Structure 1
Amino acid sequence: MPVFVLTGAVLTGCATKPRQLMPTPVLYQEPNGPALFEDIAVQRQRPEVDLLFITNRAADVNSENGFPYGQARRKGIVFGSAQVRLVPGIDWETLQTQSRLAERTREVDLELGAVQELGAFPHEPYTIVRANESTLSRDPIELRAFVETKTAFQKDIQRRLAMSPKKEVMLYVHGFNETFATSAFTAAELCHFFGRDQVCSFFTWPASSTGNFLTSYTTTTESAEYAVEHLKKTLRMIATTPGVERLQLLAHSRGTAVLLSALRELMIEAIAKGVDPADAYRIYNVVLLSPDIDVDIAGQKITGFVSDPDLTIAWPDDKLPRLLNGRLSIYASPDDRALLVSRILFRSRNRVGQLRPEDVSPGMQAYFGNLGRVDLITFTGERTDLFGHSYFTTNPKVSSDLVQLIRYGKKPGDPGRDLLRTGPATWEFRAEADSR
């Protein structure tokens, strides 16, 4: 039975339903795959995955499902530690062996363990104090609480960095129909197969996961908008933590819209200060997985700074700012059935997560090719999950490509990334026959 520690209170709940650990990515599969774990600190050589979580979900102390945070919105951010256990009981050596098998010889499941809240930012909006008729200021008590909580947050990141071979933070943002537990599971299995050599974290927002599907999706859409401001603050605090060298950002489904909106606001902040966003926020890779976002809206968020000359008018020689040091990678599948619902609800011509290379016009191919660092990667093939929406974890070929990108920093076309170029900015996975 998991234990939840929320701002001093100890709560217990029913164990969340376990989920099977994702299949082993192709590159690790024995006998020729690289080592899964290298230079990992002794204190981290244990089956449990300790994640840093950040959330604007309200605490759900009466949850019958054992979730520490539910679907209601909190007016502010909290952070803490979430343990994801691997069950039935398994030792470190056995886990390493099972994690490299294409066909495992024993069951390995994920289960939510202890969740401890380590800090809570003041409720928003912060109190305003009127000094006189013309002067307003923030309440000094709340401002002090903010500074103390931010300091605690950054110190926890630094504590985790000290145990991590790579001085980088991987942050995962989930999509629709996800709970605190399911988002923790995905972050944990990604962390596991990225080699556990980063600070692993997830940002979880109050996506709806119960009730009427259509009503639930509408609620989620507005909660996603509500989450943008909190994710923006989270990214800013992580990026300014001393010792953080890189941010690796991954988002799935509707979470991609949250991430793109937050990044757009941060980039405008940096550009207005005359600073390259890539330097200000240390962002390396941004990965959009099965993006549930309209093509035109996504394009506007990604290229808006280019199409607004007034934004960079003060920059020398009409120079364009660098947005990231790595790549923007978009994984899409025309067979993604979950996104069909979004197309109907929003009457969207197309969702980014269903794009094929031929859907990208020659003009846009040339544009993104010239911009550089933007890759649309299309997957077609056997569906490995019910709706074909989570292939980045359920398909070993796709997850292998993702590991090559995040862990090893490989570009499309590099050895190990089995992709076929279809245009200046588009790629697709090779068919099995072409891979031989």
Structure 2
Amino acid sequence: MWRIITGAAVLMLLLAGCAVRDVALAPPPNLYLEGRNYPVERVPPVLRNVTPRMFYVTDRAPEAVGSGTLVYGTGRSNSMALGVVQVRFGAEDWDDLVTRTSVDSGRRMSRLDVQQAAELVRFAPVPLPTRRTDGALSFEPEALRSYAAGGRAFQEVIRSEISRTGNRRVLIFTHGVRNDFDRAVATLANLWHFEGRDSIPIAFTWPAGNSGVLSYFRDREAGDFSVYHAKEFLRLLAEIPELEDIDIVAHSRGTDVMSTALRESIIYHRGRGVHPKTAMKTGTLILAAADLDIGVVEQRLQAERVSEAFEQINVYVNPSDGALRLSSILANAPRLGSVTPDQVFREDIERLKKSELVHFIRVEQVRGRGHSYFRDNPAVLSDIVLALRTRAFPGGTLRPLDLAEDGFWQLHPNYPLERLPDLRGFDREER
């Protein structure tokens, strides 16, 4: 028993790498060094500022504080909310921020502050009350009308943002364990800014951040609790006619929350006789440091052909990821985010790459605990940006990754400086 508790304590410390220790603009991606490639002209004029607003969807319970400021903690809420929060980049103005984003090896960083949040839509709590009539179980009409009204209000907010910015894509970020609300928003702000601000940024933040020796396990349960809300969130977005694409970046245990919601949605749409990609409008899926049991992935995701719903899936792996290594020991099963070639046969990798458009990308020479590299490693950020901006597969001129003999794509620390793509002409093209 004490051995288990000790292991849990060590895991908690390792998974502290899931949390952002300060809110700051990450080091600029290698892609933008030497003042190149940041798509200034593609950023909608209304978004060329240092105080953009981000959206969030959460089933964290709001907490009352003396000042009246809205705060979200680790408590669960049966009622999902859509809100808006403003962030402030610590730069003098937009031009200064662009300079900080495209600098030389000095890598000047900017402070990033998450300011007060405000709820825009609060849904009726689920499960909705039901009644049985002639053997059929249906929702109470009044409760269903209330929930549907929340859905329409949600969609109207997103439609207004599409009209305001002209952006018809959504970028979703889902965090891992030991992340609080502000940290989730700050990470999304980093990804969205570096990606080029040509999407509507929405953080799906679930009740993670529990404290104590067993915090990891409490957070895992909180993730299971949030699957239904994640599924409803995706459904409501896809039903907006003006919206074209939904890209998803998930980290650590957030990959389980989102992949489970996606799997259930895909099964639902197949049952309706509708192609999942068409119904869900899903584009690129990025799984970074995925805390997923490889066997479960094979049986519940690969066997269900989940990749059919995406243009491509990029799986970033670090075999030296200390947090996932301990997670593997406790679960007695290898994790997807630290998978090695001996755990996945070469022919399986090739088949996934060709038929299911799943790409395994191995990150090299990761510093520290090696679990949160996706947001602070300039090479990884570069490839995520290229994947989202260009929609290109690895290995071409727009994503010049090297293919290793074991079938994994290799992400070198200085990528892509050896073959830095010029995206200026590409950014002017209609995609």
Shorter-normalised TM range: 0.7 to 0.9
Matched to 1:95, the amino acid is L
- Paired residues for 1:263-282 under 5 Å: 263-282=262-281
Number of corresponding residues: 398
Q: Does the 8 Å contact 1:278/1:322 carry over to 2? A: no
1:86 aligns with 2:89: yes
Q: Does the 8 Å contact 1:53/1:79 carry over to 2? A: yes
Backbone CA RMSD of aligned residues:
2.5
Q: Does the 8 Å contact 2:238/2:280 carry over to 1? A: yes
Match of 2:71 in 1: 68
Q: Does the 8 Å contact 2:33/2:105 carry over to 1? A: no
Distance across 1 between alignment mates of 2:137 and 2:401: 57
Aligned match for 2:317, one of 296, 309, 332:
332
Distance across 2 between alignment mates of 1:228 and 1:241: 21
1:220-246 residue CA offsets vs partner (Å, 9 max, x unmatched): 111111111110111011111121111
Q: Does the 8 Å contact 1:168/1:247 carry over to 2? A: yes
- The gaps in structure 1 that reach 5 residues or longer are 1-15, 307-320
TM-score under structure 2 normalisation? 0.86
Report the structure, 1 or 2, having the larger helix content: 2
SS at match of 2:396: coil
Q: Does the 8 Å contact 2:53/2:87 carry over to 1? A: yes
Q: 1:67 to 1:252 in 2, by over 3 A?
A: farther
Match of 1:47 in 2: 50
1:291-326 residue CA offsets vs partner (Å, 9 max, x unmatched): 0111111122322225xxxxxxxxxxxxxx972341
Matched to 1:422, the amino acid is A
Distance across 1 between alignment mates of 2:126 and 2:414: 53
Match of 1:109 in 2: 111
Aligned match for 1:346, one of 331, 337, 350:
331
1:173-198 residue CA offsets vs partner (Å, 9 max, x unmatched): 10011000000000011010111110
Match of 2:62 in 1: 59
1:340-393 residue CA offsets vs partner (Å, 9 max, x unmatched): 231232122x1111123443213422431442311010112141xx31111112
- Paired residues for 1:224-373 under 5 Å: 224-305=223-304, 323-348=308-333, 350-373=334-357
Higher RCO by CA contacts (8 Å cutoff, separation 6 or greater):
2
Aligned match for 2:127, one of 125, 128, 131:
125
Q: Does the 8 Å contact 1:179/1:207 carry over to 2? A: yes
Q: Does the 8 Å contact 1:67/1:181 carry over to 2? A: no
Q: Does the 8 Å contact 1:369/1:425 carry over to 2? A: no
The offset of 1:28, in angstroms, is 1.2
Tell me which moved more, 140-149 or 195-204.
140-149
Q: 1:28 to 1:273 in 2, by over 3 A?
A: same
SS at match of 1:375: strand
Match of 1:156 in 2: 157
Distance across 2 between alignment mates of 1:178 and 1:51: 17
SS at match of 2:308: coil
- The gaps in structure 2 that reach 5 residues or longer are 1-19, 419-431
Q: Does the 8 Å contact 1:53/1:80 carry over to 2? A: yes
1:25 aligns with 2:7: no
Distance across 2 between alignment mates of 1:226 and 1:37: 40
Match of 1:8 in 2: none
Match of 1:309 in 2: none
Q: Does the 8 Å contact 1:120/1:149 carry over to 2? A: yes
